[in-house]
């Protein structure tokens, strides 16, 4: 059996003379990958109390600034990290993605580009301008790169970074193509003052949506069975709310691994169809296939929103950490709901490490 990415990722974090500033750090997935790539998180900022506690628990050497970025000057952030303008080797962060996510398109003010949270992207750019790091790395939902109401924000991001003197590249990345056991797509934008950076080449290949062909010389995508199969019989990891009950819970056992509510439709040939075709979100009653990567881990799943385990239950905390490539001993502070949100919003550290390492080579 192949080694899990959570086993392979980077190994030890070491003291580095390459200081980095982290904004919107969340649970620290991006930060962990950055440190494994050779940087040192000199200061981290986030507004969420539990996320800040998680950062302090796992990055004891890092000053954590807790609060809304709009209330902090760049000078105060730099001071907390013992830095001056131009000292930082890297600025990293993922401004809250809700304004750019396709899940919010039903809200008129989001479609019109009037979400006030979108202004947080401006504050990332403000810190980039005033802190003047050698390089930067930004992650967000790939909807930010859509040619819709998000187009103006994305163009502003790229134009502003280039006007500040950075060589900028962007790419929508499928995490599974880099050894993460999850078909998670996100847009990454990175830039360097020295030269144009390049994204790392994919290490794995496999089917995804309409993709029929890929480089067969690459390793196959890491599957959920490889990532969490050894945790399945662990009774000590069981959680009180892992059972799926209520109106639709009894339907889950009938759905084959890798499928969702569409199994119970006339178009799929079900003898007693219960749902109209494409009448629900894709993730409704979605079940993991142990022979495939996981779909995207949700930050705030509803009662019938998957992915669910192939054993017809909700995923346990230890399992979602693995699917996001966090180490087993990584401590998440807060309630179970808070932990789900923190991990679901995080950048997989194994992916972050590979991208940050390629960026360091351009500095």
- The upper half-sphere exposure of residue 58, i.e. CA atoms within 13 Å in the direction of its Cβ, equals 28
Average pLDDT, the chain: 91
Domain that includes residue 31, residue range: 5-209+345-360
Residues 166, 159: Cα–Cα separation, whole Å = 10
Q: Which of 25-29, 140-144, 282-286 has the lowest mean pLDDT?
A: 140-144
Q: Are residues 147 and 11 in the same domain?
A: yes
- Side-chain-side CA neighbours of residue 7 (13 Å): 8
190 and 136 in contact (C-beta within 8 Å)? yes
CB 26 within 8 A of CB 97: no
Q: What is the pLDDT of residues 246-304, one digit of tens each?
A: 999 999 999 999 999 999 999 999 999 999 999 999 999 999 999 999 999 999 989 99
Per-residue pLDDT band at 361 (split at 50, 70, 90): confident
Same domain, 71 and 30: yes
Q: In whole angstroms, what is the distance from residue 267 CA to residue 276 CA? A: 9
pLDDT at residue 2 tops 70: no
Q: What percent of the chain has pLDDT over 90?
A: 82
> Where does the pLDDT of residue 96 fall: very low under 50, low under 70, confident under 90, or very high at 90 and above?
confident
294 and 204 share a domain? no
Q: Is 96 helix (H, G, I), strand (E, B) or coil?
A: coil
pLDDT in tens, 68-83: 999 999 999 999 999 9
Statement to judge: residues 27 and 131 lie in one domain:
yes
Q: What is the pLDDT of residue 142?
A: 77
Q: 42-57 pLDDT, tens per residue?
A: 999 999 999 999 999 9
Structure confidence by residue, pLDDT tens digits, 297-354: 999 989 999 999 999 999 999 999 999 999 999 999 999 999 999 999 999 999 999 9
SS3 assignment, position 174: strand
Mean pLDDT across 9-31? 83
Dihedrals phi, psi of 326, to nearest 5 degrees: -80, 145
Tokens of 175: 């995490």
Which residues are 186's β-sheet partners?
Answer: 141, 173
Q: For residue 107, is pLDDT > 50?
A: no
Are 193 and 236 in the same domain?
no
Secondary structure class of 204 (helix, strand, coil): strand
**Which positions are annotated as active-site residues?**
97
Q: For 131-136, what is the mean pLDDT?
A: 98
Same-domain check for residues 101 and 243: no
Give all strands (DSSP E) within 289-353, no chain letters. Answer: 294-295
If asked whether residues 197 and 237 sit together in one domain, one would say no
Q: Cα(67)–Cα(49) distance, rounded to whole angstroms?
A: 8
Residues 137, 258, single domain; the answer is no
Number of domains in the chain: 2
């Amino acid at each position: 059996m192949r080694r899990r990415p959570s086993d392979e990722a980077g190994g030890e974090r070491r003291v580095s003379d390459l200081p980095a500033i982290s904004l919107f750090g969340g649970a620290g997935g991006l930060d962990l990958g950055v440190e494994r790539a050779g940087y040192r998180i000199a200061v981290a900022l986030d507004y969420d109390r539990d996320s800040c506690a998680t950062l302090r628990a796992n990055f004891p050497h890092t000053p954590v600034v807790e609060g809304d970025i709009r209330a902090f000057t760049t000078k105060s952030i730099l001071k907390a990290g013992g830095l001056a303008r131009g000292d930082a080797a890297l600025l990293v962060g993922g401004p809250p993605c809700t304004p750019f996510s396709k899940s919010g398109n039903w809200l008129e003010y989001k479609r019109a580009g009037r979400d006030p949270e979108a202004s947080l992207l401006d504050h990332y750019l403000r810190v980039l301008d005033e802190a003047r790091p050698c390089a930067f790395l930004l992650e967000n939902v790939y909807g930010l790169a859509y040619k819709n109401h998000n187009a103006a924000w994305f163009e502003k991001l790229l134009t502003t970074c280039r006007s500040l003197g950075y060589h900028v590249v962007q790419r929508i990345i499928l995490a599974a193509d880099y050894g993460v056991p999850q078909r998670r797509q996100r847009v990454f934008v990175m830039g360097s003052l020295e030269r144009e950076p390049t994204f790392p080449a994919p290490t794995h290949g496999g089917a995804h949506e309409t993709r029929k062909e890929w480089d067969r010389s690459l390793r196959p995508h890491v599957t959920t069975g490889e990532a969490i199969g050894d945790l399945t019989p662990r009774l000590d990891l069981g959680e009180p709310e892992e059972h799926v009950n209520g109106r639709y819970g009894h339907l889950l056992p009938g759905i084959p691994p890798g499928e969702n509510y569409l199994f119970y439709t006339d178009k799929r040939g079900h003898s007693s169809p219960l749902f109209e075709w494409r009448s629900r979100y894709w993730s409704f009653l979605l079940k993991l296939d142990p022979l495939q990567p996981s779909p995207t881990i949700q930050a705030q799943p509803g009662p019938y929103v998957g992915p669910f385990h192939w054993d017809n239950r909700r995923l346990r905390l230890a399992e979602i950490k693995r699917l996001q490539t966090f180490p087993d001993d990584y401590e998440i502070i807060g309630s179970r709901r808070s932990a789900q949100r923190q991990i679901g919003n995080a950048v997989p550290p194994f992916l972050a490490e590979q991208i940050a390492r390629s960026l360091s080579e351009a500095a």
